[in-house]
Amino acid sequence: MKLKTLLIPLTIFLATTLHAADRKLVMIAGPASHPPLMHEFRAGSMLLQKRLQGFPGLKTVLITNGWPVKVVDGRTVDDNSVFDGADAVFIYSDGGAKHMALQNDRLEVLKGLMAKGVSLGLAHYAVEVPADRGGAEWKSWIGGYYETAFSCNPIWEADYASLPKHPITRGVKPFKTTDEWYFNIRFRDGKMRVKDILVAKPSDATRDGPYVHPKGPYAHIQAEKGRQETMMWAVQRPDGGRGFGFTGGHFHLNWQNDDQRRLMLNALVWLAKLEVPAGGVDSAPVSDEEAHQNLDVKPVRKKAEPAAAK
């Protein structure tokens, strides 16, 4: 009886130890970008990682200032060893033609990971890639991408008045935030296997522009006045991997919104193929003091002085 009594807590201890970090989430925050409190990839990722600490079965590895690198023989080269054993990868960074995931052979590295069923989540500008380089991959891996001059990027208040039933939305109440919410995403044909997570209706004025770049308006965006748009979506891939795209995240202080923050925490847990709690991931409020920690050092842009009268 004594032996049995001793074995029970030992078994519990071993089970806890074996499952304490059996899902590995690699988070990559891009380098400094934009004016202060915008594109704060490092600070935003650190806020999220802090609230994921101690989540059962999850281990997070955060890389800041871009793709992981190391110095070999005096040269800086990619250090892809960080992806060893990864179950999910989350990228919050700038995108477009200079997207860090498109440099060197990184797209091939991601292809190898995706073939193994590794999940991929992308936030804000990271959802944008050129149509002819990354577009097909993004559609395959996360369901869609931002395509220049097809999609648009106005700054507007999106009102998410209702949310669908999905693990990502557990414990999340309807909310609204003003952000650079991209829309008219280039999705897979027929939005095959794409699950809408955040949907709202841009106002006619939002469709009329200006957009951030190019400022527009675009006739095809104006032509769809009154249509609902998708600003976050999720997919289950046939290879077993998962994916999501989130187009907000331009303004750092929006992470103080309890529901937007919980939505992203839920998404990261779901991405790692763990069970999201019924009430969502616990998320302590973000104070003003904490929100201003770990910000990138950025030059303050001076306003242009009026020209002297002649």
Summarize pLDDT for 150-197 with one digit per residue, the tens: 999 999 999 999 999 999 999 999 999 999 999 999 999 999 999 999
Residue 29: in which H helix or E strand, if any? strand 23-29
pLDDT recorded at residue 256: 98
**In this structure, how many other beta carbons lie within 10 angstroms of the beta carbon of residue 63?**
18
pLDDT at 3 over 80: no
Using pLDDT thresholds of 50, 70 and 90, give the confidence band for residue 64: very high
Give the closest residue to 83 by CA, choosing from 47, 118, 46, 48. Answer: 118
Six-digit token string for 153: 């990027």
pLDDT recorded at residue 16: 35
Contacts of 233 (CB under 8 A, 6+ apart): 142, 143, 144, 185, 187, 194, 195, 196, 197, 198, 244, 245
| pLDDT per position as a tens digit, 236-261 | 999 999 999 999 999 999 999 999 99
DSSP state at residue 243: E
Q: Which whole-number Å values give the CA distances from 38 to 53, 87, 232, 251, 292, in the listed order?
A: 25, 29, 19, 5, 12
| pLDDT per position as a tens digit, 15-58 | 333 344 489 999 999 999 999 999 999 999 999 999 999 999 99
Which fold does the domain 23-291 belong to in CATH? Rossmann fold (3.40.50)
pLDDT recorded at residue 4: 40
Contacts of 125 (CB under 8 A, 6+ apart): 33, 39, 93, 94, 95, 96
SS3 47: helix
Give the closest residue to 164 by CA, choosing from 121, 194, 122, 195. Answer: 195
What are the boundaries of each domain within the chain? 23-291
Six-digit token string for 26: 């690699």
The share of the chain scoring above pLDDT 70, in percent, equals 90
Distance of alpha carbon 32 from alpha carbon 171, whole angstroms: 32
Q: What are phi and psi of 273, to 5 degrees?
A: 65, 35
pTM above 0.85, yes or no: yes
pLDDT recorded at residue 299: 74
| pLDDT per position as a tens digit, 192-234 | 999 999 999 999 999 999 999 999 999 999 999 999 999 999 9
pLDDT at 6 over 90: no
Distance of alpha carbon 278 from alpha carbon 291, whole angstroms: 27
- Exposed e or buried b for every residue in 171-183, given b needs 16+ CB within 10 A? bbeebebebbbbb
| pLDDT per position as a tens digit, 79-115 | 999 999 999 999 999 999 999 999 999 999 999 999 9
Give the closest residue to 154 by CA, choosing from 94, 217, 232, 93. Answer: 217
Mean pLDDT of the chain: 91
Using pLDDT thresholds of 50, 70 and 90, give the confidence band for residue 298: confident
pLDDT recorded at residue 15: 35
> According to DSSP H, which parts of 78-217 are helical?
106-115, 135-142, 204-207
Using pLDDT thresholds of 50, 70 and 90, give the confidence band for residue 301: low
